[in-house]
């Protein structure tokens, strides 16, 4: 199975070659407050939500021409580093740092309810994601030797802590990165992956909604507290993309892209694709060939399943792919942009 997947990636590399001019990044109007926007949730080509520092939450209903301030009251000191939209009206946000809160709106940001709050020393949530509008999962860095995992089964109205014995065990000084809200990703009905860094660039994968975990070495750059896995994306049920590196320096990021392929219950890294010396904080797969990743020093675009890359200019933190194929990205000082890319035929995909 693993060998067959390897040949699949070789076939991808034989796909059509496009010039960088066919991948366009179009800046939108900046948000009214120049926040660091690490949370983004694209709903369509017209609707997108962003969140970040200074407790900021904004939405656009006109494709990024203007922004509506939907920031929840009383949380101006928090950093909402991840956001999830179930449509134009129902949205949830999660903060990094203390107090750790999850807020929910069902009226398009006119009002918010705090549905989770934790002020325990050492709690630092990095990301959350959802299998369905009812079922979701979030994780915090470890206060002891295991990650703190919380789950919801009622649309985020209540959250329950997973028994610590069932949570991933981490090494000392190993934790996640709340850089783009994408170091945790769900897939299907019960698959979830968490990426961490520091002393090891591990990916923890569960196929039973977090009740048990498999640890996989992503092969990404690790060592200092600033290096590891920053973002994950399921390109398919058996293909998981991982990006990262060292956020302090592009050149220090010795390896920043990996593809993990599933072989039965095991996952392994395919060694024929990689990106070196480019820190990346978020990744999205349009399909099995087209991959886009961004970072604070610039991004990359591949038409060959990661076998070759083209540069993508601009400093951005996070990506979000809407159901209609619209791709949005957010970054520092209230910057948001839309990314257009070549549309492949079904045969080319």
Q: Which has more confidence, 128 or 144?
A: 128
89-142 residue pLDDT tens: 999 999 999 999 999 999 999 999 999 999 999 999 999 999 999 999 999 998
Q: What is the pLDDT of residues 284-325, one digit of tens each?
A: 999 999 999 999 999 999 999 998 899 999 999 999 999 999
pTM: 0.92
Q: Share the mean pLDDT of the chain.
A: 91
User: Domain spans of the chain?
Assistant: 2-340
* Better-scored residue on pLDDT, 75 or 7: 75
Query: Average pLDDT for residues 62-88, to the nearest whole number?
Result: 97
DSSP string, 272-341: T----S----EEEESSSS-EEEE-TT-EEEESSTTSS-EEE-S---EEEE-TTS-EEEE-GGG-EEEEE-
For residues 170-194, average pLDDT? 96
What does the buried/exposed string (b/e) look like for 55-81 if buried means 16 or more CB atoms within 10 Å of the residue's CB? Answer: bbbbbbbebbeebbebbbeebeebbbb
What is the assigned CATH class of domain 2-340? mainly beta
Mean pLDDT of the 196-221 span: 95
How confident is the model at residue 7, as a pLDDT? 43
Q: Tell me the mean pLDDT in the region 196-222.
A: 95
Structure tokens at 237: 């049920």
Mean pLDDT confidence for 22-29: 92
Cis peptide bond prior to 99, omega within 30° of 0: yes
Q: What is the pLDDT of residues 222-267, one digit of tens each?
A: 999 999 999 999 999 999 999 999 999 887 788 899 999 998 778 9
**SS3 label, residue 266:** strand
Summarised one tens digit per residue, pLDDT across range 43-74 is 999 999 999 999 999 999 999 999 999 999 99
Tell me which of 7-21, 196-210, 250-264 is least confident.
7-21
């Amino acid at each position: 199975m693993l060998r067959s997947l390897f040949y699949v990636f070789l076939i991808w590399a034989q796909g059509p070659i496009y010039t960088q001019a066919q991948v366009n990044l179009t800046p939108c109007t900046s948000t009214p407050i120049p926040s660091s926007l690490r949370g983004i949730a694209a709903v369509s080509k017209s609707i997108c939500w962003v969140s970040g520092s200074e407790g900021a939450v904004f939405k656009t209903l006109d494709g990024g021409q203007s922004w509506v301030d939907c920031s929840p009251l009383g949380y101006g000191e928090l950093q909402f580093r991840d956001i999830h939209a179930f449509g134009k009206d129902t949205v949830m946000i999660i903060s990094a740092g203390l107090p750790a809160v999850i807020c929910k709106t069902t009226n398009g940001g006119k009002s918010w309810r705090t549905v989770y709050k934790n002020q325990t020393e050492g709690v630092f949530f990095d990301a959350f994601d959802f299998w369905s509008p009812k079922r979701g999962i979030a994780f915090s860095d470890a206060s002891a030797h295991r990650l703190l995992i919380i789950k919801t089964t009622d649309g985020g109205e209540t959250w329950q802590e997973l028994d610590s014995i069932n949570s991933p065990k981490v090494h000392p000084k190993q934790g996640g990165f709340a850089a783009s809200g994408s170091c945790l990703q769900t897939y299907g009905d019960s698959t979830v992956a968490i990426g961490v860094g520091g002393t090891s660039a591990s990916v923890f994968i569960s196929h039973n909604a977090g009740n048990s975990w498999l640890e996989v070495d992503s092969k990404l750059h690790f060592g200092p507290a600033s290096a590891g896995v920053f973002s994950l994306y399921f390109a398919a049920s058996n293909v998981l993309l991982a990006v990262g590196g060292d956020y302090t320096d592009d050149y220090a990021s010795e390896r920043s892209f990996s593809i993990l392929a599933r072989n039965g219950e095991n996952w392994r890294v395919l060694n024929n694709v990689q990106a070196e010396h480019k820190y990346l904080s978020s990744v999205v797969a349009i399909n099995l060939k087209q991959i886009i990743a961004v970072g604070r020093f610039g991004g990359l675009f591949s038409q060959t399943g990661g076998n070759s890359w083209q540069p993508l200019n601009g400093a951005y933190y996070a990506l979000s792919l809407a159901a209609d194929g619209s791709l949005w990205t957010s970054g520092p000082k209230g910057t948001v942009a839309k990314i257009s890319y070549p549309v492949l035929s079904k045969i080319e995909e």
